[in-house]
A = this chain, B = another copy of it.
């Protein structure tokens, strides 16, 4: 295997990249000048030095000068009474950008596919339990919100998380909820599916 094929093989491991696009990436890089490739190479190898994973929420963030917590978990301006659980870093970013939530986060690192035999290994289930318990013991935590996607994997993950967290919530008198369901902004009723309508109908507001 030559280095062109080796590199293409590595790109094929990237999310959503098939063999054709992987090869296209290699040809693109060959077409770029060496400076670009060297810069990319340096950025990759220095990623661990410049990015850290928060010991509390598990999200990746620019490595701090001191400490193991990210700026959100560490900040006094964060509402430490609420903990919002999301599947992945991109979900965290999307919610942060809305500006409508100011509490703590926990990044699961994935979701649980239907019929998954080892659900606890697909997500940071153990870490979530420990972290929620730690925050509850400290007495700050009052509410846990599960914010998984509105699809079968998200629903499955939600069901699994509820089983884990409900005993904890009961023990520490925490309120436990999931994101509301209904019509997304911009949805035309005509094109909404049965499930969406059902949820919108159930969650109707006066």
User: Which residue numbers of A lie inside 8 Å of B, CB to CB?
Assistant: 2-4, 6-7, 10, 13-16, 20-21, 23-32, 34, 36-48, 50-51, 53, 60-62, 88-90, 93, 109
- 24 examples of A-B residue contacts, CB within 8 angstroms: A2-B62, A3-B47, A3-B50, A4-B60, A4-B62, A6-B43, A10-B40, A10-B43, A14-B25, A14-B28, A15-B24, A15-B28, A16-B24, A20-B90, A23-B93, A24-B90, A26-B47, A29-B47, A30-B53, A37-B45, A38-B44, A40-B44, A41-B41, A41-B45
Q: How far is the CB of A139 from chain B (nearest CB, A)?
A: 32
**A39-B10, A41-B45, A45-B37 are known contacts. Are A89 and B27 too (CB-CB below 8 A)?**
yes
Cβ–Cβ < 8 Å partners of A53 in chain B: 30
Tell me how many chains of this kind the complex includes.
2
Would you list the 8 A-B pairs with minimal beta carbon distance, nearest first? A3-B50, A41-B45, A2-B62, A41-B44, A41-B41, A7-B43, A30-B60, A27-B89
A7 adjacent to B47 (CB under 8 Å):
yes
B29 adjacent to A21 (CB under 8 Å):
no
| Distance in angstroms between the alpha carbons of A3 and B50 in the assembled complex | 7
B10 adjacent to A51 (CB under 8 Å):
no
**A3-B50, A20-B90 are known contacts. Are A29 and B15 too (CB-CB below 8 A)?**
no
8 additional contacts, CB 8 Å, given A3-B50, A37-B48, A38-B44? A2-B50, A4-B50, A4-B62, A7-B40, A15-B21, A15-B25, A30-B53, A34-B48
**A21-B16, A27-B60, A62-B4 are known contacts. Are A45 and B38 too (CB-CB below 8 A)?**
yes
B7 adjacent to A44 (CB under 8 Å):
yes
| Distance in angstroms between the alpha carbons of A198 and B183 in the assembled complex | 47
